Amino acid sequence: MTISNTQDSVHSDDEKSNSESSKKCSATHDVMDNSLCWINGSMVSPQLASISVFDHGLLYGDGVFEGIRFYQAKIFRLQAHLARLRQSLAALAINLPLSDLEVETTLNELVRLSVEKGNDSAYIRLLVTRGIGSLGIDPRSCLTPSVVMIVAPLTLASERDIQQGLTLMVSSVRRFSSDMLDPQIKSLNYLNNIMARQQANAAGADEAIMLNASGYVAEASTENIFVVRQGVLSTPSVAEGALAGITRAEIVRIACELGIKVTEPRLTVYDLYSADEVFLTGTGAELIPVQKIDGRLMKSCPGRIFKQLSQKFSECVLK
């Protein structure tokens, strides 16, 4: 009987695993079916889209990207994204073979096509790699950068996440410092972010908080972080390893308009544990409140200031 029950349990686990894999595969196909892809000047079917195995973006993560949103067929803060893209490219000495106007024109055409497919609000991924070259890291073998633009549906934070908040953990994986790989470069190399997220996954948390080499709070694995204490809104500065997030800048601007004091101090884990409110911001995440950090419940989730900022941000993206 014991053996039979064990076998039944194994079969049940296998069936559950196969079912979950099938659902993930189906979801991936659904996303691809509703996506658009442009590579180096040509529209390509997402199912057939490919780049060379000799592209240094694939081989070495040698390139940069931007994650952009559009709402009701209007791209949100495109000029800010293009400015940050240009800065990242300049840091890596990669020349974008398109003007900002050409990029904007192409993206607007992709948005138009997306609207025709029934998606008037979605996500854009704009990638620029150093291009095709020989095996070996020497960038001189890459003559022409590759440019990829993808439009795809985005899975928004659920109403449950917004109402209940996320569970976070402080990761042991540290954010790169500016004398290593400057976090202000939005590069294709996200390995330390991925490893931090793996820790969160293994711990049953929704997201990981990354500290810098000095032990100060930098950001989450893919979002900026904000802390509220006694009515003051604080967020790590880019000098501490935070990305100069577009949504982050928007939240700071909105907060100032609302008369909320904003600071960029050095934040420690203690500041997170003892905060009145904590929330995350990002292009994909928008604003998401935090319920718990390392098992410690926040005093308020979603908090009063989060609600104010979230409402104003929602109004802003639809203007």
Active site residues: 186
The sign one gets for the Cα dihedral 198, 266, 183, 175 is negative
List strand residue ranges (DSSP E) for the chain, in order: 36-39, 42-44, 63-71, 74-75, 122-129, 146-152, 166-170, 207-211, 217-220, 224-229, 232-234, 262-263, 277-282, 286-293, 296-297
Q: Name the CA radius of gyration of the chain, rounded.
A: 21
What residues contact 318, with CB distance under 8 A and at least 6 apart?
A: 71, 72
Between CA 147 and CA 49 the distance in angstroms is 13
270 neighbors 280 (Cβ within 8 angstroms) = no
Residues 119 and 82: their CA atoms lie apart, in Å, by: 23
With contact defined as beta carbons under 8 Å apart, do 183 and 205 qualify? no
CA dihedral 190, 191, 196, 197 (to 10 degrees): 70
Spatial distance between the Cα atoms of 236 and 217, rounded to a whole number of angstroms = 7
